[in-house]
A and B are shown apart, each in its own frame.
Chain A
Amino acid sequence: MSLLALQRGFRDWLVTADEGAAAALGGGPGTLVYQNNYRTALVSSLAETFQRLALWLGDEAFESAAARYIDARPPSSWTLDAYGEDFTDFVATLWPDDPEVAEIALIDWTVEQVFVGPDAAALAPEALAVADWETAVIRAVPSLLVLPIATNADTIWRALATGETPVLPERTARGGAFLVWRQGLEPVFRRAEEHERDVLAWSAAGQGFATICERLATSLGEEAAVTAAGTLLGRWLSEGMVAAVDCARLVGKGSNRSSPPLHPAPAASEARRNRGTRGA
Chain B
Amino acid sequence: MTDRLTGFGLGMRRPHYRAYIDGTAPVDFIEVISENFMIPGGKPLDTLMKARANYPLALHGVSLSIGSADGLREDYLTELRRLVDRMEPAVVSDHLCWTRIDGFNSHDLLPLPYTEEALDVVCRNIDRAQEALGRRMLFENPSSYIAFPGAMTEWEFLAEMTRRTGCGLLLDVNNIHVSAVNHGFAAADYLTGIPMAAVGQIHLAGHVRGEHLLIDTHDQPVPDEVWALYRAATALAGAVPTMIERDDNIPELEELCAELDVARAISADAAERIAA
Contact = CB atoms under 8 A, between A and B. Distances in A.
Contacts of A261: none
A26 B148 contact: yes
Given A3-B115, A34-B146, A75 B105 contact: yes
A31 B147 CA distance: 10
Interface string B92-121: 000000111111111110101101011001
Interface of B: 35, 38-46, 63, 65, 67-70, 73, 76, 98-108, 110, 112-113, 115, 117-118, 121, 144-146, 148, 182, 210-213, 215
In the A-B complex, the 7 residue pairs with the smallest Cβ-Cβ separation, listed nearest first, are A30-B145, A119-B41, A29-B212, A4-B69, A30-B146, A7-B101, A116-B39
Contacts, number: 113
B104 A74 contact: yes
A193 B104 CA distance: 42
Given A3-B115, A7-B101, A41-B107, A115 B212 contact: no
A6 B114 CA distance: 12
A107 B156 CA distance: 51
A25 interface: yes
A139 to B, nearest CB: 17
Interface stretch (A9-17, A214-222, A232-240): A9-17
A2 interface: yes
Interface in A125-149: none
A26 B41 CA distance: 44
Contacts of A29: 145, 210-213
B43 A75 contact: no
Contacts of A2: 69, 117
B102 A8 contact: yes
Contacts of B145: 29-31, 33-34
A177 interface: no
Interface of A: 2-4, 6-8, 10-11, 14-15, 25-26, 28-31, 33-34, 37-38, 41-42, 45, 74-81, 83, 114-119, 182, 185-186
Nearest to A41: B107
Contacts of B115: 3
B42 to A, nearest CB: 4
Contact of A4 (B70, B76, B100, B210): B70
17 contacts: A7-B68, A7-B69, A7-B98, A7-B110, A10-B106, A10-B110, A29-B212, A38-B106, A38-B107, A75-B104, A77-B105, A114-B42, A116-B42, A116-B45, A119-B40, A182-B42, A185-B42
A3 B102 contact: no
B108 A76 contact: no
B146 A26 contact: yes
Contacts of A15: 104
Contacts of A10: 101, 106, 110
Given A8-B101, A14-B106, A80-B107, A3 B146 contact: no
Given A2-B117, A42-B107, A185-B46, A11 B41 contact: no
B42 A11 contact: no
Nearest to A187: B42
Contact of A30 (B38, B63, B213): B213
